[in-house]
Amino acid sequence: MNMTLKALALGVSATAMIAGSAAAEIDYGSFPDYTLRVKLIGGAQYEPLYAEIGQWEEATGATVQILSRQNHFDLDREIKQDIAAGTLNWCVGSNHTSFAPQYGNIYADLTELIDAEVLAEFVPLVLEHSTVGERLVQLPRHSDVSNLFFLQSLYEDEERAASFEDEHGYPLAPPETWDQVRDQAMFFADPPDFFGTQFVGRDEAVSGRFYEMLVAEGGELFTDDWEPAFNSEAGVRALSWFVDLYDAGAVPAGVPNYLWDDTGLGFASGSVALNLDWAGWAAFFNDPDESAAAGNIGLVRAPMGSAGIRTGWSGSHSFSITETCDNKEAAASFVTFLTDHDRQMVEARRGLLPTRTRVWETAMDEFREGGDEFMVTVFETYQASMAEDAFTPPLIPEWIEVSNVLWPQLQAAMVGDRTPQEALDAAAAEALIIMEDAGYR
C-alpha cells in the first residue's frame, strides 16, 4: 500500500468522525493529466451521484471519461462483449451482487487496492456479499432489500377490522407472515379499482421474489451438491402464494408483466394496499406531488414464511476495478470517493440504503433534525432488515442463467398454463442441465 492510499485511508476515517466534511479536505491522491475511463449504470436513481465526480477531478487533477451510462442489463451485455472481444481497456465499472460472479477474474481484488481501515467502515455483511471466491471484487455503493409498505388508513377503520376478524379469526393488523399478507390482500381487493397487493412478474425480478419466498418457506434453491431443489414442497408452497393471489384477482391482472417501475407507480397511485418494495421508493411514495398515497403510508419488516424466516432477497449496487486497468491507484481513489461518507449521504437523502455503517446514523440524525419521521422509520426498518434478514442468491456465475429458465415457468404457473409442481419440475430439469454443463455435477 503506497503513501497516497494510506493518506486516503486516514482521510476517510477522519470523514467518518466529522460528518459533512468536503471532499477537498481528504487526500484522494494526485493524478494530473490522467484520464480514468469508466462504465457506469445510468438511470434517475443513480445519476445524482455522478454530479459529484467533478469534485474528485478537481481534487486529483484527473479527468473521468464516462464511456457508457445505461441500465444494468444493457451494461451487463456490453461488459460481456468487452470480455469476448478482449477490449477491457477501461478501469471502473458499475457492478451488482447478482451479476458479479459471472465475470470471472476480470475484476481486481480490492483488498489489495484499498486500505483495510477504509473497508472497515463498511457494513461487514454487505462486504461479505460483495466477495466472490474469497476475492472482494466490488466496493458496495448502496444496498437493496425489500420491506412491506401499506396504506395505513385501511387498518384504522373499525368496521372493516371487525369484518376481517369475523372472516379470518384474528385481528386486522399489519401482517407479520406471508399467509396474513395473502388473507389481507384478498380481503382488501376490489378489482379493477383496488388491489390487495402486487408483485414483479418477469425476469430476474420474479426469480428473486420466488427465491426469497422459498427460503422463508424453509426450502433451498440447490442441494449441497448443486442439484436443483426448488421443486420441493416448500417450493410449491412458495409459488402457490403467487398463484393463489393471481387466481383470486387480488393483484392486478398484468403482474406477470410487471417490473419495479410498475409496482412502484402502482402503489403510488393509491390503488394497492400492500407493497413489498425497496427503500429507494420511500421518499417518492410519501411525496404529495408524486403520490396519491403520501401521508398514508405505513411500513413493517418483510413478513415471515411458514419456516419463521423473513424474506430478505438482497443485493448491492457497487463499483469494480478491472485487472487490466492502467492506473489501479487512481481507480481505487475514484471508487473510494464515490462511496465515501458524503457521497453516500447524497444517495441516502433519496432513500437509497448506505453501505457504510456510520452513514446510517448520520442520515437518521439528519431526518430527525428535519422532522421527517417517515424517513426515520424507513431507515430504522431497513437497517434492521439489512442486519438480520438480508441474503443473496447463490453467488455463482450460473445464477442469471438459472433465473432465465425459472421465471418463464413461474409465469406459466401464475397464468394457469401449468400447476406449481409441473412448472417447478420443468424449471428444475432445465436448471439441472445448466449445472451439469457448468461442471457442478
Interface pick for other proteins out of 172, 400, 424, 427 (rule CB under 8 A): 400
Q: Which residue has the cell 473510494?
A: 336
- Taking contact as CB under 8 A, which single stretch among the options 46-54, 77-85, 234-242, 274-282 is the one that binds other proteins? 77-85
Site membership for other proteins, residue 397 (CB under 8 A): yes
Cell of 340: 465515501
> Residue 17 belongs to what H/E stretch?
helix 3-17
CB of 83 to other proteins, least distance (A): 5
Q: Strand (E) positions, 269-400?
A: 274-278, 297-300, 315-321, 353-354
Query: Residue 190 contacts by C-beta under 8 Å, 6 or more apart in sequence?
Result: none
Q: Rounded distance, CA 217 to CA 219, Å?
A: 6
* Of 79, 2, 87, 92, residue with least CA distance to 53: 92
Closest to other proteins by CB, 76 or 115 = 76
- Taking contact as CB under 8 A, which single stretch among the options 59-67, 130-138, 171-179, 188-196 is the one that binds other proteins? 188-196
CB of 420 to other proteins, least distance (A): 13
Site membership for other proteins, residue 265 (CB under 8 A): yes
Closest to other proteins by CB, 193 or 369 = 193
Interface pick for other proteins out of 256, 312, 315, 354 (rule CB under 8 A): 256
- Taking contact as CB under 8 A, which single stretch among the options 16-24, 255-263, 295-303, 308-316 is the one that binds other proteins? 255-263
Interface pick for other proteins out of 121, 262, 277, 347 (rule CB under 8 A): 262
Site membership for other proteins, residue 191 (CB under 8 A): yes
Q: Rounded distance, CA 85 to CA 136, Å?
A: 25
* Of 278, 241, 287, residue with least CA distance to 260: 278
Q: Rounded distance, CA 358 to CA 325, Å?
A: 30
CA angle, 379 then 384 then 389, to 5°? 130
Each residue 95-134 as x (binds other proteins by CB under 8 A) or -, in order, gives -------xxx------------------------------
CB of 319 to other proteins, least distance (A): 19
Closest to other proteins by CB, 128 or 247 = 247
CA angle, 270 then 189 then 253, to 5°? 85
Site membership for other proteins, residue 344 (CB under 8 A): no
Residue 154's DSSP bridge partners are none
